Amino acid sequence: MPSHFSITHRSGIGKARTGVLKTPHGEIRTPAFMPIATVGAVRHVAPHELRSAGAQIILGNTYHLMLRPGTELLAQRGGLRKFMGWDGPILTDSGGFQIFSLGAKLARSGHGSLVDIDEEGVTFRSHIDGSLHRLTPETAVDHQVRIGSDIAMVLDVCPPQPCTDRSLDAAMERTTRWAERSLMHAEATMSRDKMLMFGIVQGGSDLERRSAHASAICALPFDGFAIGGVAVGEDREAVRKTIAHTGPLLPEDHPRYLMGLGTPGDIVHAVQHGIDLFDCVLPTRAGRHGTAYVWRDIEAFPQGLWYDTVAIARAEFQHDDAPLDSFCSCMACEKFSRAYLRHLTVIDEALGKRLMSIHNLTFYLRLMDRIRGSIARDEFFSS
């Protein structure tokens, strides 16, 4: 078993497990959810509020940070942790997913797009000012060292879905070669002493391809393994099948990370299939748009219908003095009524976005705490 990850309990039911992941800047109890600080901030939420909500680790994005403020500046300022005042670990995405998805978005909007991929790396235009940039597996590692990442993701190729079998195979094969190059470069530059490195399994929703790519990536000496390229256009059933199939293929004694997913139900489902780490824009994005995740009955978790979503702008909340979530003690639920949160949301006030984001993050992080407790007690999970 690797020294940075230990499994503390294996569920008697399913493949769920609890563990402790050691990073250079702190330990993480898993399963864990990572709030997304794409550009060096979780939108509307300060670092000390993330801590109060129960965050153990946050996620930064290499693509965005290399464009603004630039990773040289971050290194000069003592790394992203010091720069943004966050005292815990940071995982950084390599930038591959953003390059491909923002490139496709620019092309669709008629602004012209350049995402030019070759064996060495990828050349792309900034979504901010159209300037040209280049990222290779090696420079993606260097950027993440300068950011001061605790867990670095390798640069991978994310083909848009649906795509042909031929382009899916080419993306998987190139992702494997890039994973090997990333590790070699990290060894040569002694970057592995500074951060953990995770490999990424691709393969779309084709289960045979997922198996083949999992065996190629998991043969490499990474510190953890991720499932990438899910929820990029396929239906929910296909996503769940991919996770149920791929999760158990990742090495049992290493941390497993499901990239970019999902709803509370999706998370519970993935935990049942042995996933340890999660990130998703959903709690903050939904919060900014007036949707809250609330406990239906926290004591009932994980049985039955344990959560609801509330669209707070609805007229029915106009005179509702109750808190947003009676099981929650976050700032939004402790101090304000549904009627007031509705008002803030209807007038598009920044305080409303902030309170709804804080609440949803608190909900997600408490969910993870409940999940860890349920695994420890060998309780059955319902998703």
In terms of C-beta distances under 8 Å and separation of at least 24 residues, what long-range contacts does 176-183 make, across chains too? 176/213, 176/216, 176/217, 177/119, 178/137, 178/154, 179/137, 179/154, 179/217, 179/220, 179/222, 180/220, 181/137, 181/138, 182/137, 182/138, 182/140, 182/141, 182/154, 182/155, 183/154, 183/220, 183/221, 183/222
Q: Which two tokens stand for residue 208?
A: 């045979």
Residue 330 near Zn ion by CB under 5 A: yes
- Per rule CB under 5 A, is residue 81 in the interface with Zn ion? no
* Minimum gap (Å) between residue 325 Cβ and Zn ion: 5
Q: Of 93, 266, 276, 325, which one is the catalytic site residue?
A: 93
99 touching Zn ion, by CB under 5 A: no
Distance, in Å, from the CA atom of 336 to the CA atom of 344, rounded to the nearest integer, reads: 11
Helix intervals (H) in 23-130: 47-53, 62-67, 71-76, 80-84, 96-108
The answer to whether residues 164 and 178 touch, using CB atoms and an 8 Å cutoff, is no
- Strand, coil or helix: 117: strand
For Zn ion, the closer of residues 168 and 330 by Cβ is 330
Nearest to 271 by CA among 262, 284, 283: 262
CA distance 149 to 89: 8
When asked if residue 45 is in the footprint of Zn ion (CB under 5 A), the reply is no
Shortest reach from residue 273's CB to Zn ion, in Å: 29
**Measured from the CB of residue 136, what is the shortest distance to Zn ion in angstroms?**
43
The site for Zn ion, by CB under 5 A, has a size of: 6
- Indicate the burial class of 339 (C-beta count within 10 angstroms; 0-12, 13-18, 19 or more): middle
Q: Based on the shown chain and the rule CB under 5 A, indicate whether residue 67 belongs to the binding site for Zn ion.
A: no
Of residues 57 and 294, the one with the C-beta less far from Zn ion: 294
Least separation in angstroms between CB 267 and Zn ion: 18
User: Which of 266/325 has CB closer to Zn ion?
Assistant: 325
| 66 interacts with Zn ion by CB under 5 A | no
Q: What whole-number distance in Å separates Cα of residue 176 and Cα of residue 318?
A: 54
Sole binder of Zn ion in the list 328, 344, 368, 375 (CB under 5 A): 328
Contact region with Zn ion (CB under 5 A), list: 38-46, 67-75, 92-100, 353-361: 353-361
Choose the binding region for Zn ion from 69-77, 172-180, 268-276, 317-325 (rule: CB under 5 A): 317-325
Shortest approach of Zn ion to residue 315 CB, angstroms?
22
156, 266, 279, 325: the active-site residue: 279
**Strand partners of residue 293:** 309
Q: Is 93 a catalytic residue?
A: yes
Q: Cβ 221 to Zn ion, closest distance in Å?
A: 42
Nearest distance, CB of residue 340 and Zn ion, angstroms: 13
Q: State yes or no: residue 55 binds Zn ion (CB under 5 A).
A: no
Q: Which of residues 196-255 bind Zn ion (CB under 5 A)?
A: none
Strand 132-135 to 122-125 pairing: antiparallel
* Least CB distance to Zn ion at residue 108 (A): 36
Residues 6+ positions from 108 with CB-CB distance below 8 Å:
none
Asked if 341 touches Zn ion (CB under 5 A), the answer is no
What are the structure tokens assigned to 189, written together?
């530059």
Taking the least distance from each CB to Zn ion, the nearer of 75 and 331 is 331
ω before 160 within 30° of 0 (cis)? no
Does residue 150 have an active-site annotation?
no
Q: Phi and psi for 341 in degrees, rounded to 5? A: -65, -35
CA dist., res. 321 & res. 235, Å (int): 39
Q: Is 359 in the site for Zn ion (CB under 5 A)?
A: yes
Take residue 136 and report the two structure tokens written for it. 């290779």
Q: Which stretch binds Zn ion (CB under 5 A): 16-24, 193-201, 202-210, 329-337?
A: 329-337
Site string (268-307) toward Zn ion, x via CB under 5 A: ----------------------------------------
Give me the residues that bind Zn ion (CB under 5 A), please.
325, 328, 330, 332-333, 359
Report the catalytic residues: 93, 279
